[in-house]
Amino acid sequence: MTKDQIKENIELVKNKIFEAEKKSGREAGSVRLCAVSKFHPMEDVLAAVDAGQKLFGENRVQEAYSKFNEIYSEDVQKSIQIKPELHIIGSLQSNKVKKACEIASCIQSVDRAEILAEIEKQCAKLDKKMNVFFELHTGEDSKCGFETEDLLLKSAEDCAGGKYPHVCPVGLMTMAPFTDDESLIRASFIKLRNLREKLNAEFPSLAINELSMGMSGDFQIAIEEGSSIVRVGTAIFGERDYSK
C-alpha cells in the first residue's frame, strides 16, 4: 500500500463506520477505529497517523515493541508531533506481559487469571495503571479468549474485590467466527453485549462499558450490535504477508 492508499482506505472505513452509526441510530463518532497494523512496517503506521489516525492495535508483543519504541523515540516524535496510542489485541504469554505493559496503554486480550496477575505485578513495578478488556471466546474458529463466561466473571469478581489494584477493566472483546452466515456473527456480538449487561449488574463498581468487536469483514454488523471499538487491519493496510 502506498501512503495515499492507506489514507484513502482510512477515509473509506471511517465513512462506513459513520453510515453504520447512522443506520443503527447511534451517535456520530461514538465508535472508535483501532487500526490493526500487525505485520505492516512502521512507515505504514506513520502514513495512518498522517491521515489523522490515533489508535493502533498489534497482536504480537515483540513486533509491537520494536515498532512503537521507534515511533515513540525522540526523533520520530519530533517529526510527527503526535503520540499514537497502542492496544495489544493478541493472546499473551506470561513472559511477554512485561514488554506489553511498557509499550501499550491497554491490553484488550486478557483471557485468563494468570495474565491479570502478571499485569498487576509488572504495572506495580512500573507504577502504571493498565486498562484491560476481557476477551471472550464466542466463535468456534478462534482459540482466543476466556473459554467460558464463568471464568471471565470470576476474574471480574477478583478485580472488583481489589485483587489487582493496577488493573482497570474497561471493556469486553471478542472475535466473531469467520463465516458468511451473518446470524452466527451477530449471535457472537450479542453474546458479548449481554455479558456486559450481566457484568455491570453484578459488579457496578467496575465500569465495563467498552465493547471491542468487529474486524474488516464484519465491523458494520458489530456497530449495529453496539460495538464501541472496531479493530480494522486488512481494509486499511491491505493483506498481511504471514511469511514475514
Smallest gap from residue 173 Cβ to ligand PLP (A): 7
Contact 190, 227 (CB under 8 A): no
3-class state of residue 167 by DSSP: strand
Tell the smallest beta-carbon distance from residue 47 to ligand PLP (Å).
Answer: 16
Residue 124 cell numbers, joined: 506495580
Q: Nearest to residue 84, comparing CAs of 98, 63, 70? A: 70
Minimum separation from the CB atom of position 74 to ligand PLP (A)? 30
Q: Which stretch binds ligand PLP (CB under 6 A): 68-76, 96-104, 112-120, 228-236?
A: 228-236
Our finding on whether 143 is near ligand PLP (CB under 6 A) is: no
Measure the CA–CA gap between 240 and 62, rounded to whole angstroms.
17
- The nearest distance, CB 202 to ligand PLP, in angstroms, is 26
What does the per-residue mask of binding to ligand PLP show for 25-44, with x meaning CB under 6 A?
Answer: -----------x-x------
**CA 205, chain centre distance (Å):** 23
Tell me which residue of 218, 234, 232, 176 sits closest to 56, measured CA to CA: 232
Per-residue binding letters, 75-104, with ligand PLP (x by CB under 6 A): --------------xx--------------
Q: How far is the CB of 73 from ligand PLP (least distance, A)?
A: 25
Q: What pairing do the DSSP bridges indicate for beta strands 167-173 and 229-232?
A: unpaired
Q: How many CA atoms lie within 13 A of 141 on its CB side?
A: 9
Phi, psi of 65 (to 5 degrees): -65, -50
Our finding on whether 234 is near ligand PLP (CB under 6 A) is yes
Q: Which amino acid is it at 162? A: G
Residue span 148-187 as binding mask against ligand PLP, x where in contact by CB under 6 A, dash where not: ---------------------------x------------
Is 45 a binding residue for ligand PLP by CB under 6 A? The answer is no
Q: Given the rule CB under 6 A, which residues bind ligand PLP?
A: 36, 38, 59, 89-90, 175, 215-217, 231-235
